[in-house]
């Protein structure tokens, strides 16, 4: 994975999946019973290490990704966050009072258990297996904060960005330095690369994309590289195909994660600038059979001539059959 992210064309390409440690695995569901509170589960070094390693033991992926959540950063800052079964993350609606109460010093100590997990993983992973850390992009984290929960097309966050951009900017200005520190600490603890997930970048108009997605990401990339010069940073602004070249140029990311809507012709052009990661539709993993095989083959045939990390175009879903994951990994590996 590290070689591919450094620009080397490998055949077959390395393979891992976003959300590969998760609810589709029976062993994960069993481990999850130990801590009903999801954030407590994320902060438990023993449990987080165990579930990160589960898909490596089962499938031998070329990289493990730290089991955590994008909301540990606002939680560590002191922003009220909870997870509800069947609903996901629920945050207190954004306010000036909440922003004024955020504490960056608190964040550092609060995230110590996550950093301990990274260190443990680096010790326990096979030498040939890469380790990825990550954070949520400030815009995506903020989307849930404006409304207090996710909404269709993030309409509440978009409206909020127009009605009170100063409040949103103040919140993002707290998330950026906290995210920089968090990613640097992951790299220092043993992560080989980090990814910035901007799941909701695609809902923004051009002006909003530049201000709320690109600008904070550029600050994070610059801040991380100032402290960890050799850092490899993967950008993932989902559903932003038409804007990806500008995103690469303006943020300075080292590689691009591509969702399944990015055409192969565009992906190949991006690949001339930076290594790419992706981009099979996660639903092919659910469908299985011929649809899965054709999806794997398409990515390998159309994108395998340049630096590529084979991955899904977004996270694996809970309804995916573990046997289909094995079939996918085997098919990638057998291409060699």
Smallest Cα–Cα separation from 25: which of 62, 67, 56, 55?
A: 55
**Beta-strand pair 193-198/81-84:** unpaired
**Digit-coded pLDDT (tens) for 256-266:** 999 999 999 99
pLDDT of residue 87: 73
Q: How confident is the model at residue 291 (pLDDT cuts 50, 70, 90)?
A: very high
pLDDT of residue 151 exceeding 90: no
Rounded Cα distance, 286 and 218, in Å: 35
CB-CB contact of 171 with 208 (8 Å): no
Supply 92's token pair. 């207190």
**Digit-coded pLDDT (tens) for 86-143:** 778 888 999 999 999 999 999 999 999 999 999 999 999 999 999 999 999 999 999 9
pLDDT of residue 249 exceeding 80: yes
Measure CA of the first residue to CA of the last residue in the chain; give whole Å. Answer: 16
Catalytic site includes residue 327? no
Q: Active site residue: 19, 185, 232, 331, which one? A: 19
CB-CB contact of 334 with 66 (8 Å): no
Rounded Cα distance, 2 and 274, in Å: 13
> Quick one: CA torsion of 263, 248, 76, 120, rounded to 10 degrees?
80
Q: Active site residue: 24, 43, 79, 144, which one? A: 144
Residue 2 DSSP symbol = H
Smallest Cα–Cα separation from 61: which of 332, 334, 335, 329?
A: 329
pLDDT of residue 138: 98
Distances from the Cα of 285 to the Cαs of 15, 29, 48, 277, in angstroms? 14, 19, 25, 17
Q: Active site residue: 9, 23, 122, 211, which one? A: 23
pLDDT of residue 320 exceeding 80: yes
Residue range(s) defining the domain that contains residue 126: 2-334
**Digit-coded pLDDT (tens) for 175-207:** 999 999 999 999 999 999 999 999 999 999 999
Q: Active site residue: 62, 69, 198, 259, which one? A: 69
pLDDT of residue 128: 94
* Residue scoring higher pLDDT (328 or 145): 328
pLDDT of residue 89: 87
Q: Which residues make Cβ contacts (< 8 Å) with residue 316, sequence separation at least 6?
A: 17, 18, 19, 20, 22, 24, 282, 285, 325
The domain tally of the chain equals 1
Catalytic site includes residue 185? no
Instruction: Report percent pLDDT > 70 for the chain.
Output: 99
Catalytic site includes residue 44? no
pLDDT of residue 147: 74
pLDDT of residue 42 exceeding 80: yes
Distances from the Cα of 279 to the Cαs of 75, 95, 110, 306, in angstroms? 31, 37, 34, 14
Average pLDDT over residues 294-305: 97
Q: Which residues make Cβ contacts (< 8 Å) with residue 266, sequence separation at least 6?
A: 241, 244
Q: What is the CATH number of the domain that holds 234?
A: 3.20.20.210
pLDDT of residue 150 exceeding 80: no
pLDDT of residue 152 exceeding 80: no
Distances from the Cα of 178 to the Cαs of 161, 201, 218, 317, in angstroms? 21, 20, 14, 29
Q: Active site residue: 3, 9, 32, 298, which one? A: 32
- pTM for this entry: 0.96
pLDDT of residue 86: 72
* Residue scoring higher pLDDT (296 or 150): 296
CB-CB contact of 288 with 319 (8 Å): no
**Digit-coded pLDDT (tens) for 60-81:** 999 999 999 999 999 999 999 9
Rounded Cα distance, 284 and 272, in Å: 27
pLDDT of residue 149 exceeding 80: no
Specify the 3-state DSSP secondary structure of 228: coil
pLDDT averaged over every residue in the chain? 96
pLDDT of residue 125: 97
Supply 1's token pair. 């994975």
Smallest Cα–Cα separation from 25: which of 322, 229, 317?
A: 322
pLDDT of residue 292: 98
pLDDT of residue 22 exceeding 80: yes
Bond preceding residue 92 cis, omega within 30 of 0 = no
Q: How confident is the model at residue 153 (pLDDT cuts 50, 70, 90)?
A: confident
Distance of CA 115 to the CA centre of its chain: 17
pLDDT of residue 84: 83
Supply 6's token pair. 């450094």
Specify the 3-state DSSP secondary structure of 256: strand
Catalytic site includes residue 32? yes
* Torsion-angle region of 159 (φ positive above 0: left; ψ -120 to 50: alpha; else: beta): alpha
Catalytic site includes residue 19? yes
pLDDT of residue 288: 98
Rounded Cα distance, 49 and 118, in Å: 8
């Amino acid at each position: 994975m590290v070689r591919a992210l450094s620009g080397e064309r490998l055949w077959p390409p390395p393979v891992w999946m976003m959300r590969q440690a998760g609810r589709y695995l029976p062993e994960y569901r069993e481990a999850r019973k130990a801590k009903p509170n999801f954030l407590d589960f994320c902060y438990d070094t023993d449990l987080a290490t165990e579930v990160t390693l589960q898909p490596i033991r089962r499938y031998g992926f070329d990289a493990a990704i730290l089991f955590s959540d994008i909301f540990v950063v606002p939680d560590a800052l002191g922003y009220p966050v909870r997870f509800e079964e069947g609903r996901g993350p629920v945050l207190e609606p954004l306010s000036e009072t909440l922003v004024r109460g955020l504490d960056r010093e608190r964040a550092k100590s609060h995230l110590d258990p996550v950093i301990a997990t990274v260190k443990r993983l680096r010790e326990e992973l096979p030498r040939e297996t890469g380790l990825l850390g990550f954070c949520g992009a400030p815009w995506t984290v903020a989307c849930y904060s404006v409304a207090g929960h996710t909404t269709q097309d993030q309409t509440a966050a978009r409206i909020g960005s127009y009605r009170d951009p100063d409040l949103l900017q103040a919140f993002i200005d707290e998330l950026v330095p906290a995210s920089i520190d968090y990613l640097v600490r992951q790299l220092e603890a043993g992560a080989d690369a980090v990814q910035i997930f901007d799941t909701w970048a695609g809902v923004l108009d051009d002006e909003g994309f530049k201000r709320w997605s690109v600008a904070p990401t550029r600050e994070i990339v610059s801040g991380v590289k100032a402290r960890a010069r050799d850092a490899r940073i993967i950008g993932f602004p989902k559903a932003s195909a038409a804007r990806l070249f500008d995103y690469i140029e303006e943020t300075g990311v080292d590689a691009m994660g591509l969702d399944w809507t990015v055409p192969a012709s565009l992906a190949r052009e991006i690949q001339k600038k930076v290594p790419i990661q992706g981009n099979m539709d996660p639903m092919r993993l659910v469908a299985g059979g011929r649809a899965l095989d054709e999806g794997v083959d398409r990515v390998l045939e159309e994108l395998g001539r340049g630096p590529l990390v084979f991955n899904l175009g977004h996270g694996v879903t809970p309804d995916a059959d573990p046997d289909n994951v094995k079939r996918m990994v085997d098919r990638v590996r057998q291409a060699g």
